[in-house]
Amino acid sequence: MGRQDSITSENKLKVLIIGCTRLTRRIITSVEKINTIVGVVNLHPEEGMLKSNYDTLSEFNSKNPDKFFMTHDINDDETYNWVKDKEPDLIIQCGWSQIFKERILSTPKLFCIGFHPAPLPVGRGAAVLNWMIIKNDTLAWGRVKDIEWGNTMFVMDTKTDTGDILDFEPLTIEGRDDINTTYFKVYKSSVKMIERTLPLIESGEYKRTPQDNSKATRFYKRKPSDGLIEFNWPVHKILNYVRALTTPYPGAFFEYKSKQIKLWRASIGYASNDVQSQTGTVIEIKKGKGLNVKVDDSHTVWLEIISDDTDLECWADEWAIENNLKVGEVLK
């Protein structure tokens, strides 16, 4: 699409970063190698501690207190004025859930960059990676498919995930991945795109590719209560929920004696032909392995790491013994 506005090599891009996650930490490290960081905006801990993946970015703050700002609201006057005073050429948003209003978007000389863990325009919206793992299909023996997916870097506008695409990096969500390892791939691909694209932006040789809105799909935000699993589900669906909602997310859970028991790790098991019990029945409690629960005529699920209302994670077999759970009892 030809040359765009450029920054001379003698005056490196002045970059301001807005984020509050582990991805933000990695982007800061990459940008520092290439350009000048004029400021970092982080989410105040009062809100941040309610957010999965929250990172205080304490190392950057301790080294650059004059370049560090914590906010409750990215769009309030105090934050806007602080950002404006830094006179950034470019803003990079990485790991931020509040929608930017027009005056923040129009602050940098060039534009605001965002990342979205999907091959835009497919997969706009919230909780994308969680949804992709949850909705994954099963193969033989309860295994799940690998998903060819991707991560997109784009120019932000007033709508969510609709701006022109600057770069794209493919990634695969493997059957062995949980939400944590999937984010490892997102972080790695984001760093690749930043290190590949910032020099092009600086020289004015970057391209902006409009999204094809006719191909757009959208996911919607999940609530912690959406993590409830039922033992009459297919085993792969149960395991997908566990993989999708494990740490740092709130966790999939089942109900036992009117309590939520969160399930952080589980694996597939196979039912013996002589097992005729109902779904949710405890088939075996095995020290060093976990708690084996009936799912259907062919499968069980091994509960391995759980937590109860004490919110302390433990091995499921130890929890079962401590709570005097017996083989033959039904979890409900």
The single-letter DSSP state of residue 106 is T
Domain locations in the chain as residue ranges: 14-219, 224-322
Question: Alpha-carbon distance 23 to 190, whole Å?
Answer: 8
Write down how long the chain is: 332
Question: Alpha-carbon distance 127 to 135, whole Å?
Answer: 12
pLDDT, tens only, 148-165 = 999 999 999 999 999 999
Q: Distance from first CA to last CA of the chain, Å, rounded?
A: 60
Architecture of domain 224-322: Roll (3.10)
pLDDT score for 319: 95
pLDDT band per the 50, 70, 90 thresholds, residue 139? low
Cut 0.75: pTM above it: yes
pLDDT, tens only, 224-276 = 899 999 999 999 999 999 999 999 899 999 999 889 999 999 999 987 765 56
| Three-state SS at 240 | helix
pLDDT score for 143: 64
> What is the CATH class of 14-219?
alpha beta
**What mean pLDDT value characterizes the chain?**
91
User: Which is more confidently placed, 296 or 292?
Assistant: 292
Tell me the two tokens of residue 189: 């691909």
pLDDT, tens only, 8-67 = 445 689 999 999 999 999 999 999 999 999 999 999 999 988 887 899 999 999 999 999
